[in-house]
Every structure is written in C-alpha cells, then in structure tokens.
Amino acid sequence: MHYRTLGKSGLKVSELGLGCMGMSEFYGARDDEESVATIHHALDQGINFFDTADMYGPYINEELLGFALAARRSEVVIATKFGFERDPNDPSKRAINGSPEYVQSSCEGSLKRLGVEVIDLYYLHRVATDTPIEETVGAMAKLVEQGKVRYLGLSETSAATLRRANAVHPISALQSEYSLWSRDIEAEILPTCRELGIGLVPYSPLGRGFLTGQIKRVEDFAADDYRRQNPRFRGENFAKNVALAEKVSALAKAKGCQPAQLALAWVLAQGEHIVPIPGTKRRRYLDENLGALDVQLSTEELKQIEAILPIGVAAGERYPESMMGAVNR
C-alpha cells in the first residue's frame, strides 16, 4: 500500500480509504458481522483511512466503526463528520447546524460513540446558511486546541467558502463527490484545492455503484435503498446512465480490468493529493476495489476516457432537489 498526504499539515493516509456509510444505512439491509470483517480485512490489506459520520444510522455507524477498530486504534486514521441534525422520530427530516455550540456537542458525541480520545480528521458535513463559515470553523479550531481533533475538513463546499474557511484554520481535506460521472468540481473547486494545498477525498467514486457495471434494474434495489430516490437512477436518466456504465465496462475490458478498477484508477490519476473512499460492506468488493491500485492508465488512455465520458455526461442531478440545495454553498 502506498500513502498520500492530505493538506499541508502532514496527514498521511493510504491511497485508498474505506467509506463505511453503507454498512449502517441507505444501501439495503445491514450485516454488522460482515461489515466488521470487511473493516478488519481492509486493515490487513494496508488501508488505514476510514470514513464515517454521526448522521449515518443515525449514530450507529460511528459505534460500529469504533467497535471494529478498538483493538487497532494506533494503526488508523478515523474521519467523521457533523452538521446534519436528524429527527429521531423521522430520520428522513434533516436540518443543518453549524453553530459553535453544536460543533462542541457533536464532537463530544462522536468521541464517545467511536470510543476514542481524539478524532483524526473532523469534517463539517454541510455548510449552514445561518452561521458564517468563519464561526463554524473557528469552533472546530478550538477542538484542535483542546486536543479532541487533529485535522479539520469540509464537505461539499464552494471554492469561495473553502478559501474563507482555510483563512481561519488550515483545512486538510475537502470531501466531495467525484467520479467519472460527477466532475463538476473540476471547474473551480479542484483547482482551489491544488492552489491552497488541500487534499481531496472523493466519495461515491464509483457513482453509487453505477460505474461497476452491475446495476441493470432499479427493481433490484431494496425497498429502502436510497438510490431509488436519486434522479440518476430514475426514468429515462437510468437508461441513459446504464449506457454510460456499459462504455466504462467496454474500456475496462480492453484494459483487462474490472469496471470498478478502471473508474477508481481514473480518480487516482487526477492528482497525488486525491484519496478516494469507495464504500462497501463486503470483503469481495473491497478486494476488487483494491485491484485498482495495480491499474496504471497511460496518457492516451486518459484521453480516450475523457472523450467518452466528458464533464456533464451523466443524466440527472446527483441528489434529489431537496438535497441539492445544501451542496457547494
């Protein structure tokens, strides 16, 4: 396993991380035993970067990850996020809170659920409209002073917001959706990360599974699978995006690798400051994803991929309208 550095502060992580959200919610039934086995297998394969958030579950994903990593805490970099408040009576209802008081209380809760004394990388999950980013990041910086957090990150912010935040305290990583079919950050956000020396942590680098080539019918998803509500998985958009996935599969076949491996190799090739965190709750898919580390794309192959999958090629927004409003503020 090779390692990459996020930000200027020297946070070193494995060049591929593990997103743990789907182990507890959004993508069908839970299997905690297999999820824990997958986390342990990731560790054994050299992955040291694990991503969660308090709102996943809610709360139970942090508990699961804390349990799985308890015996090997010194080997890992734990990243978690705060900012979303979910109604305990109706988890589908969400609000965004960036107040300094909420920053402190959220951190205390995450520390307890994870069973750790310090969080390695603490992200603001989404930017609140009623709290200046300077106030939120200022409160996050106090967590660093208190020794409860080592590094700070943001998720789904605009380039302008990222600059304002970084002026208050160094931001080590920005987490944003980035993949062959979600490339909008290349216009402003990715160049800003490069300019400021901020690492990029792409989530959903496999297009929520679409780029694996295995998704053929929406009906195959569990009734509570989040993707049933995602615009890219609905109606005409679904058929158009299946055709895109088939193009990725054809490219992968010509390369002699799996579609997921080609998609991840493309993300990894976009810069040494980029560390994708594909999510999975099964060991067999983890091993497939790790195979991407052996796939090297030539300049000519990257040009070919660009020609087939240019910016904006995916059909449909990447979130439902109700959630897009919280993106890139």
Positions marked catalytic:
56
Helix 133-145 vs helix 159-168: crossing angle, to nearest 10? 40
Contacts of 269 (CB under 8 A, 6+ apart): 297, 302
> Strand 3-6 vs strand 90-96: parallel, antiparallel, or unpaired?
unpaired
Contacts of 175 (CB under 8 A, 6+ apart): 51, 81, 123, 153, 154, 155, 156, 200, 201, 202, 203, 277
> What residue type is assigned to position 139 of the chain?
A
User: Nearest 5°: CA angle at 204, between 240 and 316?
Assistant: 30
In 3D space, the residue among 208, 189, 185, 170 whose CA is nearest the CA of residue 28 turns out to be 208
Q: How far apart are CA 32 and CA 189, in angstroms?
A: 36
Q: How far apart are CA 102 and CA 74, in angstroms?
A: 28
Give residue 200's Cα distance to chain centre.
10
Q: How far apart are CA 64 and CA 60, in angstroms?
A: 6
Helix (H) or strand (E) holding 19: strand 18-19
Two tokens, residue 112: 């307890």
Beta bridge partners of 121: 79, 151
Residue 248 · residue 211 · CB < 8 Å: yes
Cis omega (within 30 of 0) for bond into 58: yes
In 3D space, the residue among 318, 207, 200, 204 whose CA is nearest the CA of residue 269 turns out to be 200
